[in-house]
Chains A and B, each alone.
Chain A
């Protein structure tokens, strides 16, 4: 297992187009997270999954954003009708929770997908 993989690394799209990003987490991890990061800011939480269940999605930036994790494996983040303000780095991370949801280790992040909307 080589860590968290994100694809593509870079995406340039025209305003109004739809884009989809893929994340392959560490296989032993049961949680998967999506974050957005803009220049000079820390990662901003968007949504997360435990196995295939999406447990929190209220922080998705608008109804143009959606995420899926079919069968609890890889995940996709889709942005519909992209706007210039969507330009950012989109980060995926995974983690493992122990008994009772206990966190003993940090998240493992991918290298991100850099989105540029022109």
Chain B
């Protein structure tokens, strides 16, 4: 069956460093994937979309890569700030988005 896996452990990093989150998938060939940010008690907020024929996408301090050979997406936040602390969700295309469990990121001053 289709499976999406994100780092189950929370990621703690120091302010100013680059945070890298991983999303792996199996039994799946998505046409695109998306990354979302979710704060406690709120709905997810869309960040980036990348298609299968794109290797990399950037938006301000965010960068997403999509490796269809490794079946993996990496999500980077450069020059991280405490305000970046949240849960980050990856989601793959289907007739509707299929989400991973999310990875919690904590950026400390």
Contact with A along B76-105 (1 / 0, CB 8 A): 000000000000010101011111111000
Which of A44, A45, A55, A112 counts the most chain B CB atoms within 10 A?
A45
Assess whether B95 is in contact with A109, with CB atoms less than 8 Å apart: no
Chain B hits for A35, CB < 8 A:
99
Q: Does B61 contact A (CB under 8 A)?
A: no
Minimal beta-carbon separation of B102 from chain A (angstroms): 5
Chain B hits for A42, CB < 8 A:
4, 89, 91, 99-102
Of the residues A43, A104, A111, contact of B99 by C-beta under 8 Å: A43
Assess whether A108 is in contact with B46, with CB atoms less than 8 Å apart: yes
Q: Does A85 contact B (CB under 8 A)?
A: no
Contact with A along B13-26 (1 / 0, CB 8 A): 00000000000000
Assess whether B95 is in contact with A56, with CB atoms less than 8 Å apart: yes
Q: Which residue of chain A is the closest to B49 with respect to CB atoms?
A: A106
Size category of the binding interface on chain A: 20 to 34
Assess whether B95 is in contact with A103, with CB atoms less than 8 Å apart: no
Contact with B along A75-118 (1 / 0, CB 8 A): 00000000000000001010000000001111111111010000
Which residues in A have some Cβ–Cβ distance to B below 8 Å?
Answer: 4, 33, 35, 40-45, 48, 55-56, 91, 93, 103-112, 114
Which residues in B have some Cβ–Cβ distance to A below 8 Å?
Answer: 4, 32, 34, 36, 41-47, 49, 89, 91, 93, 95-102
Known pairs A33-B97, A35-B99; list 20 more (Cβ under 8 Å): A4-B43, A40-B101, A42-B100, A42-B101, A42-B102, A44-B99, A45-B96, A48-B96, A55-B95, A56-B95, A91-B43, A91-B44, A104-B49, A105-B46, A105-B49, A106-B36, A106-B49, A107-B44, A109-B45, A112-B41
Instruction: Give the 3 A-B CB pairs with smallest separation, nearest first.
Output: A106-B46, A109-B43, A42-B99
